Amino acid sequence: MNGLSLCEQIRDAQDRNLLLCNHSRREVGLRALVTGVAGFIGSHLAERLVQLGHVVDGIDCLTSYYPVETKRRNLSEIAKSDRLHFIEKDILEADLGNLVSRADVIFHLAAQPGVRASWSTFDQYLRNNLLVTQVLLEKCSEVGKKRLIFASSSSVYGNAERYPTREDAVPLPISPYGVTKEGAERICGLYQSNRVVQTVILRYFTVYGPRQRPDMGFHRFIESMLNNSPITVYGEGKQIRDFTYVSDIVEGTIRAAESEVAGETINLGGGSPAELNGVLEILRGITGSESKIVHAKADRGDVRKTAADITKARNMLDYRPAVKLLVGIATQVQWQRDKLF
């Protein structure tokens, strides 16, 4: 990292008059590799990196977990920039040596998401969450790259004993998905402890906002309300989640890359724990919907409550989530309304 943070290197480049016209292929700032770049969070991260003057190599195999057209649409604006180089490829089939060797920092967001599906298609979770992570880290060690930011999940905590939950809580995942994310964390720890790759593990807490995956709660609820169709709620709606707006997650993720932190696991939460039933009432107020709520059996692996202790993120990364829940929900509603109408 040449002893400079990402922001410092950008400023240095600017001072040397290296900012270029839109059609130039010359690199400015750093080159980042973003895996899972066409996803909900990955596309926002890539956009922000480009805005900061970086070049992004983004890789995504566009799996059919949700519509491929949605993922392509996630990249529709940033694809216009010559600072994004999109590789549509499975990581296990890509020329990783070339991608990793030219990257200054790697953001590993690619994963098989979803708690519910992990019970029936566990083989995909083993491949895409564990094997892919190990192969990427091994390639990093081979070419001498030492900085990888890994996107993990609050699912590793399961039903934690304490709330807010600190990073030193013993992981007790209660879903196959959570097990694979914990396993991937441990693989990162192995490469860190052997001093071949610098890793930072970020545990994301219930991310929401524009481009949220169609299978996620907010997206489903808003879509139903805008169509005045029944809303399916799994369980009694008393689950509590620490909702985190996507721009706050992106900010924390970039701060982790900018920092000198290595070998640490850090929570990124929004500071807005709320009960699901309360969120539904907020959504009713924003949308004016009279959709009927239909309760279904609670999902296996659905935790009762999440709440992030973000003291470590605040101290190490100066991470301070800025988007309040009401504002964030209203923004997502408007995004889905625009997309629908």
* DSSP state, residue 130: I
Tell me how far apart the 2 most distant CA atoms of the chain are, in Å: 61
For residue 326, give every residue at least 6 positions away whose Cβ sits within 8 Å of its Cβ, in sequence order, or none: 282
**Phi/psi of residue 160, nearest 5 degrees:** -65, 155
Structure tokens at 146: 């030492």
Q: What's the N-to-C CA distance of the chain in angstroms?
A: 46
Structure tokens at 303: 């935790």
CA dist list (Å): 330 to 209, 257, 323, 325? 9, 30, 11, 8
Q: How many other CB atoms are found less than 10 A from the CB of residue 192?
A: 20
User: Which residues belong to the active site?
Assistant: 177
* DSSP state, residue 170: P
For residue 97, give every residue at least 6 positions away whose Cβ sits within 8 Å of its Cβ, in sequence order, or none: 139, 142, 143
Taking the C-alpha atoms of residue 116 and residue 120, their distance in angstroms, rounded to an integer, is: 8
